[in-house]
Structure 1
């Protein structure tokens, strides 16, 4: 039995081939066959009667989403969705973007047994997340939501993207401390009042520091978009941008598979808690309020030692202003690559 990091690396290397997975290119068809083989290996139930593949077209371009179903004990309930996109932006391995998340999704799918949970779990691998399709009608998650679902709605969606790398600060380079390298961000806790408590009740594995931020700091960076705009509870996990983002240098050898394994374990635990927690519809009345500010500040304070925050010129956050200052520093060091 291989370790979780070894299994994840094997999956990443199986998908992240040199010619990439760009829509319409030969590598994309290779990726489609690989996904079919992985779903078959796991003996997953096809989501649709026609099989795992959910083809669609936009203009003259052909796309394919893939979806499987792990049945729960009550098919009348809305399912939980675990998803990631599998396409690449360029003809290159794109290991972090997004083979790592595909590997996480498949590993978690292998751990969930039929009727283990009350809710069905949809395992979805989406096409066409990358430009020029991003947030357009042909984006795989949008097309899945709008025309390929069974209309039961969604209990919650759990999406990941860019989760295989260590976080690095440009100003520190190789001297970036471990407390920063091990960061992962979870966005979307504001989408349902129960989510902050679920996150806090899910222990973070050793070697991982999970902070929570509201989606508006880095709005709709991936496939959680369609679930947010339709007001479903969602969580989006990401380690953000890094110097190899959308570059030919985003290769499997650059990823941290021990960290990816920890994120996989935590995501699996989050999914189990989401599936076991009632998430009744609620009316958003956030005007004039900020329901997750204290929660976000506390998560940052737990993850980053006060001494390190001081070295970065920051104070321990206790309010939205403190979170704003931390996120501003984080974005300057990671997202704004120039």
Structure 2
């Protein structure tokens, strides 16, 4: 770990994540459904906004299109069912990821910070996942201020709601030759609820996970960010937890270790054991499958947010102060990612 980069706090380098900018970004992006297939003009508008914001912050942005045939994925119709319960075979999918780097950054493996831009049919997707994209944009502004450009790459993924399609393509393209040291996925990170009982647990988790027991003991309050990791990313998860606690306002991070190994075996276990599959429901999973250490940051989506995949997933439902804490902790973790673990 690079101990030269302190965790965010009152005087940390990432303490000034801007709540008003986060709100502005979410409000622009969540004007309506964003989808290549269902709302292509809105998706183009959202992509143009993201490219502009990254470029204005000083990042070099590359649009990486893909044209894929006969891919197994999921449906992007609204609903609360998990990805594994919505399989679809897509004849052809044409989309594009945005990949951004800072000019002058050192060569070598980079830490990838990413979020998906698309939403499901009929939902403006403020939490899922304009919240994650807004964090990436604010991280871009914060990292551009550092005196030395850090080895961090930013990614905006397409077609997550169709079965992690953009992230699967990016993991293949970026994962070759050890170009990615680690990956942080931001998935539905803006909804919090301090009310007892507001947090639900997936079937099978209550008995199997000590983290679930701790959440029950706290009254099942939805006041935390879940940091899903594997053994390969355990040190980075612990760093994020410390950084979030030191942020202003302080944010509780609960660590949840996926016991599966990185690589294809972990994928097969997830297919055979459905509760484990919940831990791979976003864009980090294709990186795990290619043995790249990764984290998923989430407020747990449909296990907390009653607006998940619905028309009511609007900016007014989000907690932007806590979203700023997520931003600060993620920026600090990206530049301090433990190497060689």
Partner residue in 2 for 1:235: 295
> 2:221, 2:242 → 1: CA distance?
22
Partner residue in 2 for 1:29: 44
Partner residue in 2 for 1:215: 258
Q: Is the counterpart of residue 97 in structure 1 residue 140 in structure 2? A: no
> 1:21: Cα distance to partner?
0.5
Cα–Cα, structure 1 residues 203 and 3, in superposed 2: closer, same or farther, change >3 Å? closer
Partner residue in 2 for 1:252: 315
> 1:147: Cα distance to partner?
3.2
Cα–Cα, structure 1 residues 150 and 3, in superposed 2: closer, same or farther, change >3 Å? closer
> 1:172: Cα distance to partner?
5.7
Q: Is the counterpart of residue 6 in structure 1 residue 20 in structure 2? A: yes
Aligned length, in residue pairs: 263
Q: Which ranges of structure 2 fall in alignment gaps of 5 or more residues?
A: 1-15, 70-91, 200-215, 260-275
Aligned partner of 1:188 among 229, 248, 255: 229
Q: Which ranges of structure 1 fall in alignment gaps of 5 or more residues?
A: 47-51, 281-338
> 1:181: Cα distance to partner?
3.7
Partner residue in 2 for 1:79: 110
Secondary structure of 1:202 counterpart: helix
Q: Is the counterpart of residue 164 in structure 1 residue 178 in structure 2? A: no
Partner residue in 1 for 2:66: 56
Aligned partner of 2:30 among 9, 12, 16: 16
Secondary structure of 2:243 counterpart: coil
RMSD: 2.8
Partner residue in 2 for 1:279: 340
Cα–Cα, structure 1 residues 227 and 186, in superposed 2: closer, same or farther, change >3 Å? same
Cα–Cα, structure 1 residues 125 and 178, in superposed 2: closer, same or farther, change >3 Å? farther
Contact persistence 2:17–2:328 (CA under 8 A): no
TM-score normalised by the chain length of structure 2: 0.69
> 1:271, 1:72 → 2: CA distance?
17
